[in-house]
Chains A and B, each alone.
Chain A
Amino acid sequence: MHAPATSTRIGQPVPRKEDLRLITGKGRYTDDMNLDGQAYAVMVRSPHAHALIRSIDSAEAQAVPGVLAVLTGFDFIEDKLNPIPNKTFSMHPAEMPLINFDGTPAFNVSDYPLPADKARFVGEAIAMVVAETIAAAKDGADRVVIDYEPLPCVTYTVDAASPDAVRVRDEHDNICIDAQVGDAEATAAAFRSAAHVARIKTWVPRVAGSPMEPRAAVGDFDAKTGRYTIYTCSGSTLRLRRDIAIVLNVPEPHVRLVIRDVGGNFGTRGAIFPEQPLVGWAARRVGRPVKWTSERSEALLSDYQGRDLAVEAELALDKDGTFLAIRGSNVGNLGSHTGNFSMVQKGVEIMSSIYRMPTAHFRARAVLSHTAPTRPYRSSGRPEVIFVMERLIDLAARESGLDRVELRRRNLILEAELPYKNPFGMVYDSGAYHKVMERTLELADWRGFAERKAEARKRGKYRGIGVANYVDTATGIPREKAELTVHANGSVDVVIGTVSNGQGHETSFAQLINEWLGVPIDKVRLITGDTDIVTVGGGTHSGRGMRLGSIVIWHASNKIIERGKQVVGLLLQKSPGEIAFSNGLFVAAVGGQSMTLSEVAGAVTSRTDLPPELRGPLMAECDETINDAGFPYGCHVSEVEIDPDLGNVEIIRHTTVDDVGRAVNPLIIHGQTHGGIAQGVGQALLEHCFYDASSGQLLSGSFMDYAMPRADVLPFFTTEISEVPSTTHPLGMRPAGEGGTTPALGVVINAIVDALSDFGVTHMEMPATPERIWRAIRGKPQRSRIVPDAVEQQISLT
């Protein structure tokens, strides 16, 4: 437990301001929004993974009492609306660029929110029924007759990359990008000189981000002004408004976007989803507001999914265990849309993690398949490749006979070597990689493990321990803006382009204001998520909320202080240089006269004797484009116990040290780490979006089939914060939202493999279900119903 907060400044574990409304049922989630005269939409979704849409007959549906409209992709095109735009790459200057090896442009095609030609995954929305009530809309949806011609499909990543695979788009094969990065020649030479080579072929399966609030959107259209208002849940404001305006074929100011409380995101609602523009369009067509709320089965079918990376990789070492090179091939599954290639961009550029790696070479492909589209999911790409790297090190330890911790010590980058450019061109800023690992090992009592293992064996249990280091690349939309207004009553309004999806911005951003302007946190009002007020900003993704938010709030606060000093100097007949500011008070160095920040805010709006440039509300803004990346890093140790008769895994302890550079609110940061660990453990042990390979049907279509982590599969965690200031951030901060997840896959599987080492097990595919573990213990192939034989045998990528 943390010591309670002693103030509300930076660094204090301040309980959250937003809690009060959320624990009393006064949250304002999208489905809580109700507009007068509102109608309800229900989507008719494709039962086929791949099918031609021959025709749609809506007559019977239209006849259902209460049904107002049945809308299809044909109507959408007739109304001259546009497909959904994609942003396939991160163009952030700190990011590794990804280009086709033959120089051709990457394949990118936009999809309609309601396709009129073909269905390309089970669950794709094909028609929308709008009615007086949800029940009537459902009754109508049951009566929409869609004449499909089912076609063969491809779902698994490696199958989809095959040259003779069924195509998702007629005009192009499934491979949207095929890039080569690093130095092939130097890498080949390094491998020729290697004393040891560790190899892995693996598949990091697809998971469903599953925020607890199902997606929802309410659309309203004002016929007089031609303006749409969309209420929805998202990680972004202005980018989403732009994309909705593109789809609705109107100028951006004709769309107002409102985001209130958001019940989780994790990347699944970082980009525009089809229903957001559709409710606006429907509202215009029926002349009434229209609400759509996803059910959970719809969410599992049609939310943006995450991960799904097939990897073949090799690590070369010399006889002492020094890393010489890494090489391999990553294939990421995009699903049916060319939405985002992050899994092979972010998912290659830190393949070598925070280890010294003289050279590397990777092939990176992103492929289409007849499955739901994938998007970046909590720490996009990085948990996958950190899993591979940390597994390779344990495999190398086994192959070379060297100790796995010693192998990490030998190759971890030293503090003196930073900044360090990795073989993919990424430049790590600063950090104490060794200290953090040693501290984690100490906290986890690594040395005492042998004793605990022996004790467990007496009870018939097999105990294992694993360690994994990690680094994250935090980039995202580089531009952010803050507008601060100080009022005469002492309150401060902060308008900013980020949006909280549960991370507690109302509290942590208020702590910044308390630190810099001395204003109590309950007098700080954070205003986000309404494009009528917020004019610039990138939203919440890639660890950018606090990282960029702090910089623009800091600069704007400094502008407020500078202007205050001028005003106070003038009123007290001093020069601004003689005025000091701290804790909300301007004080003259000589004489000691003072004015509070709120008195200054009052003076500038009421006094007429000030020069014009100092008159007017005490406000300041900062609009900056910050092109530096952040590199949070850390270490996890996990300890598990396996019941050999049942194959069950129990996580006994999970210990982490995460470097956040400078902690603003440790209470929130530890919470982020806890939740991140649970999502990583979920993927390692339980979760899998399981598509039947022959039919493309999603068989994990409800929470009865999709295994979400519950309270009884997790222990209390030991989490510690390290604060080595980042040199790429003016305040030293690193993001804290993804570190819990990034190494969790690797560390849990390393611990399981360690526990099973006596059985000769060297690797475990995810999710490590009891069945798979039970088979591994008995020397049977790990194949199970989870991954068809064919897929495991086909993971051959070069």
Chain B
Amino acid sequence: MPTVSITVNGELRSAEVEGRTLLVHFLRDHLRLTGTHVGCDTSQCGACTVHVDGVAIKSCSALAVACDGASVTTIEGLAVADQLHPMQQAFHENHGLQCGFCTPGMIMSAIDMVRRNGHDLDEHTIRTQLDGNICRCTGYHNIVRAVQAGAAAMRER
């Protein structure tokens, strides 16, 4: 079995994995980082979104071995000490989550949206660029508000 070495949330982690192991299973099963979720298996729902070398990807669609040597950030790696990331804070303040299952993926996608588009996100941009993340609880209303607020707050960080 191949060995992969991935820097996860700033820490170098190595493990022997089957070649067919997906990045999401490497994170969940080998590292027990269970904040990254699997919601659909067909890369539709985005619950598994993580950042690889600073860019959001769906970790159900990448093999762990393909990420060998990369730097991965998961939802567990966003808060610094007790200080929430502005996007996490915005989801809390705007009630951008209910059951919370899609939330880690939403937050990781939202942060990447800011990287791509800057801090002034209009409703249309947020809605169209969130189409790879499915939520069943919120009707997206408060998620869109949260992303807007979080994007603005990230400027001040």
Do the beta carbons of A25 and B34 come within 8 Å of each other? yes
Do the beta carbons of B44 and A703 come within 8 Å of each other? yes
Q: Which of A115-139 contact B (CB under 8 A)?
A: 135
Q: In the complex, what residues of B have CB within 8 A of residue A795's CB?
A: none
Do the beta carbons of B41 and A297 come within 8 Å of each other? yes
Report B24-62 CB contacts with A as 1/0, cut-off 8 Å: 000010001111111111101101000000000000000
**Which listed residue, B35, B92, B131, B134, touches A25 by the CB 8 Å rule?**
B35
Q: Kindly state whether residue B65 has any CB partner on chain A within 8 Å.
A: no
Do the beta carbons of A703 and B139 come within 8 Å of each other? no
Q: Kindly state whether residue B122 has any CB partner on chain A within 8 Å.
A: no
A508 CB to nearest chain B CB (Å): 12
Q: Which of A1-51 contact B (CB under 8 A)?
A: 1, 15-16, 18-20, 22-27, 29, 31-32, 34
Q: Which of B66-114 contact A (CB under 8 A)?
A: 74-76, 78-79, 84, 88, 91-93, 95, 97-104, 107
Taking CB as reference atom, which chain A residue is nearest B142? Answer: A671
Do the beta carbons of B137 and A702 come within 8 Å of each other? no
Q: In the complex, what residues of A have CB within 8 A of residue B98's CB?
A: 264, 502-504, 671-672, 675
Of A23, A214, A296, A502, chain B has the most CB atoms within 10 Å of the CB of A23
Do the beta carbons of A27 and B84 come within 8 Å of each other? no
Q: In the complex, what residues of B have CB within 8 A of residue A26's CB?
A: 35, 76
Q: For this complex, into which size category does the number of interface residues on chain A fall?
A: 35 or more
A672 to B126, CA, bound (A): 21
A18 to B140, CA, bound (A): 19
Q: In the complex, what residues of A have CB within 8 A of residue B143's CB?
A: 711
A16-B95, A19-B92, A671-B98 given as contacts; is B35 within 8 A of A264 (CB)? no
Q: Kindly state whether residue B20 has any CB partner on chain A within 8 Å.
A: yes
Q: Which of A656-675 contact B (CB under 8 A)?
A: 667-668, 670-672, 674-675
**Which listed residue, B134, B137, B141, touches A717 by the CB 8 Å rule?**
B141
Q: Kindly state whether residue B135 has any CB partner on chain A within 8 Å.
A: yes
A714 to B139, CA, bound (A): 8
A212-B47, A296-B40, A714-B140 given as contacts; is B34 within 8 A of A22 (CB)? no
B58 CB to nearest chain A CB (Å): 12
Q: In the complex, what residues of A have CB within 8 A of residue B104's CB?
A: 23, 25
B61 CB to nearest chain A CB (Å): 13
Q: In the complex, what residues of B have CB within 8 A of residue A297's CB?
A: 41-42
Q: Kindly state whether residue A738 has any CB partner on chain B within 8 Å.
A: no
Do the beta carbons of B131 and A212 come within 8 Å of each other? no
15 of the cross-chain contacts (CB-CB < 8 Å) are A16-B92, A23-B75, A23-B91, A23-B103, A23-B107, A24-B88, A25-B33, A135-B18, A212-B99, A263-B100, A264-B98, A296-B40, A296-B41, A674-B140, A703-B42
Given contacts A263-B99, A296-B42, 16 further A-B contacts (CB under 8 A): A15-B92, A15-B93, A23-B97, A24-B78, A135-B20, A212-B101, A212-B136, A213-B99, A501-B99, A671-B137, A671-B142, A679-B136, A711-B128, A711-B143, A714-B141, A717-B139
A residues apposed to B, CB below 8 Å: 1, 15-16, 18-20, 22-27, 29, 31-32, 34, 135, 210-214, 261-264, 266, 295-297, 501-504, 667-668, 670-672, 674-679, 702-704, 708-712, 714, 716-717, 740
**8 closest pairs, A vs B, by CB?**
A25-B35, A502-B99, A22-B100, A263-B101, A678-B139, A674-B139, A25-B75, A703-B44
